[in-house]
Amino acid sequence: MDSRQVIVALDFDDRRAAEALVARLGGAYGSYKVGLELLTAAGPDLVRDLVDQGHEVFLDLKLFEIPNSVAGAVRAAGALGASMVTVHSMGGTGIMTAAVDAAREFPGLRVLALTVVTSMTGSDLADIGIGAGTDEQVLRLARLAAEAGCDGVVGSPREAGALRKLLGPERLIVTPGVTLPGVTLPEVTLPGGETGAETGGHARSDTPWAAFAAGASHVVVGRSVTRAADPVAALRRIGAGRPS
């Protein structure tokens, strides 16, 4: 397994914390996810600096806007040197096509379509008027993404197998929501005032090894690495391909 298939999520609210983790991990793992929280807090210069250091950056913007605005944001991501950028497939074919067209200016930039976010369940879809379950909806949106020319999709580890069967061997399948068994996370206050371990808000999760075995091309690891007592050891477990 190429170490760049493991993307570390820099889910921090300030630049110093993100840079401290990158420094701690060193050069062994070179792919990082920058999402809306960190991008808003630290600004685009952090992305440029990570790229200049030789890292790949998965810019997880989840773009859901009119096609012209999506195209502009994708071009901005390409200019920063990002390797991947996400658009919301629920925005429809128009925004996905606009993203793919804009990315052609940047040969190293791949457009990924987010299917159903890993925090959502079937009841959440029903709340917004979608009668399909999560599995069905993920595949429906993945078909649209493929037709629009997207380089790949984002889905949970539990859908990786069905997505690989649908999309074939070439397209990327990036799976957030992976967890490492045995990693103790800090306790946090949960809804209702109780305390418990952090989950990251993922309702449809699995281990990185299950995701890769099912057909994922990449996994995104967050709190089970970044909040672990020894992040380097946690990443080594993934790279070694074993749960313990």
Buried b vs exposed e over 20-45: b needs ≥16 C-beta within 10 Å?
ebbeebeeebbbbbbbeebbeebeee
Contact 176, 150 (CB under 8 A): no
* Mean pLDDT in residue range 220-242: 86
Name the 3-class secondary structure at 85: strand
Instruction: Say whether 11 sits in a helix, a strand or coil.
Output: coil
Q: What is the pLDDT of residue 192?
A: 41
**Tens of pLDDT, residues 192-215:** 443 334 445 667 778 999 999 999
Q: What does pTM read for this prediction?
A: 0.88
Please report the domains of the chain, with CATH numbers, ordered by start residue.
Answer: 3-240 (3.20.20.70)
What percent of the chain lies above the pLDDT cut of 70?
88
- Whether residue 104 has pLDDT greater than 90: yes
Among candidate residues 15, 48, 62, 143, the one labeled active-site is 62
Mean pLDDT in residue range 13-23: 94
Residue-wise burial string across 211-226, b where 16 or more C-beta atoms lie within 10 A, e elsewhere: bbebbbbbbbbbbbbb
> What's the pLDDT at 133?
86
pLDDT, tens only, 158-174: 999 999 999 999 999 99
Q: What are phi and psi of 90, to 5 degrees?
A: -70, -10
- Is residue 62 annotated as part of the catalytic site, yes or no? yes
Pairing of strands 110-114, 152-154: parallel
pLDDT digits (tens, 9 = 90+) for 83-99: 999 999 999 999 999 99
Whole-angstrom Cα distance, residue 40 to residue 244?
36
Give helix 67-80 / helix 45-52 axis angle, nearest 10°. 40
